[in-house]
Amino acid sequence: METRARILHESGELLREKGMAGFSMRGVAERVGVSATALYRHFEDKDALLATLLEEGFSTFGRYLMRALAGKTPLERLRRAGHAYFDFALEHPRDYALMFMTPCRELGLDSVSEGAKARMDGTFVFLVDRVKECIAAGVFAEQDPRSTALHIWATVHGLASLRLNGQLEDLDERAFRQHVEFTLDRIEASLAPASARRR
Amino acid sequence: METRARILHESGELLREKGMAGFSMRGVAERVGVSATALYRHFEDKDALLATLLEEGFSTFGRYLMRALAGKTPLERLRRAGHAYFDFALEHPRDYALMFMTPCRELGLDSVSEGAKARMDGTFVFLVDRVKECIAAGVFAEQDPRSTALHIWATVHGLASLRLNGQLEDLDERAFRQHVEFTLDRIEASLAPASARRR
DNA sequence: GTCTATAGGTGGATAGAC
DNA sequence: GTCTATCCACCTATAGAC
């Protein structure tokens, strides 16, 4: 792997291990196996490194979400979006934590927070569109699509962040995946129109 | 206020403002208006200060949760627990962030994580009990109480943490409270037995 | 592109006076 | 209990050699 890519990779690892408080250029350099100053040939400064990490995280996340569009029905596309969300969180926990679990103010990236905010809004719009499809198709009750989308986001984010924070350590990977299914089932059940709720 | 209490208060404020990375004994001392060394008369070291803050957070949270028991029916008690959860998150955002949004490993409090884990488990058991009540009363479908409780926790935690991370800034306090009601409604709807789902 | 050397800063913690 | 003085560790970032 190229040095630059390795720097980004080890940055993510260190960030997850030690948090923002323990993240340092020296720490990254040591993991990569170069001197601390070498990093400055690849990134202007510490903020630029973090900003790049954040940006690449959003790019990857966007690709994951796009998988959802392969679904053939509105409900299936929403379901796939849910799976894509958890796939990303579990396969890129460092990126997920940086993107969704770190307060903007804590990042201290004034310049990049604009871009991050735009990315976040874009993600939310994608979700709102999936919800609108479901409402139009009659599989969801007629409710404010934005409230509904926010409810879905909060629910999946809550589960993902409890998992990544280590608060569900007694669940193994398989049990967690099962709970994901349970969660997606509950979301669908809670949004179905009254006519669809009889079993 | 006593110096010790003021130290704890300002510690919470600083933690919320700057995050773990920006939290320092000197920073706390400056806010309190004493020298940095004065803090060491009240707390053995930085970890002890954080541990105390965490402990007091769980105590306060426990008192909030106890309000739920004033509800007259199982469903009302669960609903009140939901409200207590959001009340605590909104009124004690610093404590909430420290307790539920900071990875244990990032805190670096090996000694205290035992106590924190026990507290967390206690909270979860409380929620499981409320769910069991609802199932026994027939207002919830017969499902694994622990899965159900986890679903509820993840959902309310997701909403609270998005809020505290500043990702829902376009919602004012009133709109957010309204969405809380929406969320609690969705949770109940998703867990109701099939027989109760006809409108 | 990577190194060593180094400047300049921040932060945790202690010693000892008051 | 609070202060000043101080030590030491660690951090970001730059300069200049290779």
DSSP character string of A82-143: HHHHHHHHHH-HHHHHHHHSS-HHHHT-HHHHHHHHHHHHHHHHHHHHHHHHHHHTTSS-S-
Q: pLDDT value at position A59?
A: 95
Mean pLDDT of chain B: 93
Cα separation, A142 vs A146, whole angstroms: 12
| Structural domains of chain A ordered from first start | 1-43 (1.10.10.60), 46-196 (1.10.357.10)
Question: Which residue in A199, A62, A85 sits closest to B154, CA to CA?
Answer: A85
Looking at the complex, does the CB of residue B166 fall below 8 Å from at least one CB of chain A?
yes
In three-state form (DSSP H/G/I as H, E/B as E, the rest C), the secondary structure along chain B is CCHHHHHHHHHHHHHHHHHHHHCCHHHHHHHHCCCHHHHHHCCCCHHHHHHHHHHHHHHHHHHHHHHHHHCCCHHHHHHHHHHHHHHHHHHCHHHHHHHHCCCHHHHCCHHHHHHHHHHHHHHHHHHHHHHHHHHHCCCCCCCCHHHHHHHHHHHHHHHHHHHHCCCCCCCCHHHHHHHHHHHHHHHHHHHCCHHHCCC
Assess whether pLDDT exceeds 80 at residue A197.
no
| CB spacing of B190 vs A194 below 8 angstroms | no
Residue A11 makes CB contacts below 8 A (sequence gap 6+) with A23, A28, A49, A50, A53
Looking at the complex, does the CB of residue B195 fall below 8 Å from at least one CB of chain A?
no
Chain A residues whose CB is inside 8 A of the B110 CB are: none
A18: Cα separation from own chain's centroid: 20
> With a 7 Å cutoff on the CB, does A46 touch strand D?
yes
CA torsion, ordered A144, A148, A154, A159, to nearest 10 deg: 170
Residue B13 makes CB contacts below 8 A (sequence gap 6+) with B31, B94
Mean pLDDT of chain A: 93
Q: pLDDT value at position A199?
A: 46
Q: For A58-91, b where at least 16 C-beta lie within 10 A, e where not — what string?
A: bebbeebbeebeebeebbebbbbbbbbbbebbbe
**A1 band by pLDDT with thresholds 50, 70 and 90:** confident
Residue A194 makes CB contacts below 8 A (sequence gap 6+) with A141, B197, B198, B199
Q: How many other C-beta atoms are found inside a 10 Å radius of the C-beta of residue B1?
A: 8
Mutation choice for A interface testing from B24, B140, B151, B198 by most A CBs within 10 A: B151
CA angle B51, B47, B16 (to 5 degrees): 70
Give nearest nucleotide to A41 (CA–C1').
C1
Q: pLDDT value at position A196?
A: 64
**A65 band by pLDDT with thresholds 50, 70 and 90:** very high
Chain A residues whose CB is inside 8 A of the B113 CB are: none
> With a 7 Å cutoff on the CB, does A35 touch strand C?
yes
From first to last of the 199 residues of chain B, give the pLDDT tens digit: 899 999 999 999 999 999 999 999 999 999 999 999 999 999 999 999 999 999 999 999 999 999 999 999 999 999 999 999 999 999 999 999 999 998 877 877 666 677 888 898 999 999 999 999 999 999 999 999 999 999 999 999 999 999 998 889 899 999 999 999 999 999 999 999 986 655 4
> With a 7 Å cutoff on the CB, does B96 touch strand C?
no
If you measure CA to CA, which chain A residue comes closest to B191? A186
Q: At which residue do the structure tokens 């089932």 appear? A: A185
Residue A169 DSSP label:
T
- Output the distance from B45 CA to D11 C1' rounded to whole Å: 21
Question: Which residue in B170, B162, B107 sits closest to A103, CA to CA?
Answer: B162
Cα separation, B60 vs B186, whole angstroms: 27
Q: pLDDT value at position B197?
A: 56
Scan residues 77-136 of B and list those with Cβ closer than 8 Å to A. Answer: 97, 100-106, 120
| CB spacing of B101 vs A101 below 8 angstroms | yes
Structure tokens at A132: 């609108």
Structure tokens at B74: 């199982």
Contact B89, B183 (CB under 8 A): no
Torsion B85-A189-A196-B130 (CA) sign: negative
Looking at the complex, does the CB of residue A179 fall below 8 Å from at least one CB of chain B?
yes
If you measure CA to CA, which chain A residue comes closest to B163? A154
From B21, B101, B194, residue closest to A199, measured CB to CB: B194
Torsion A106-A111-A116-A118 (CA) sign: positive
From A23, A104, A179, residue closest to B166, measured CB to CB: A104
Q: pLDDT value at position B199?
A: 46
Question: Which residue in B153, B114, B110, B115 sits closest to B131, CA to CA?
Answer: B153
Residue nearest to nucleotide D15 (CA to C1'): A37
Mutation choice for B interface testing from A16, A85, A104, A106 by most B CBs within 10 A: A106
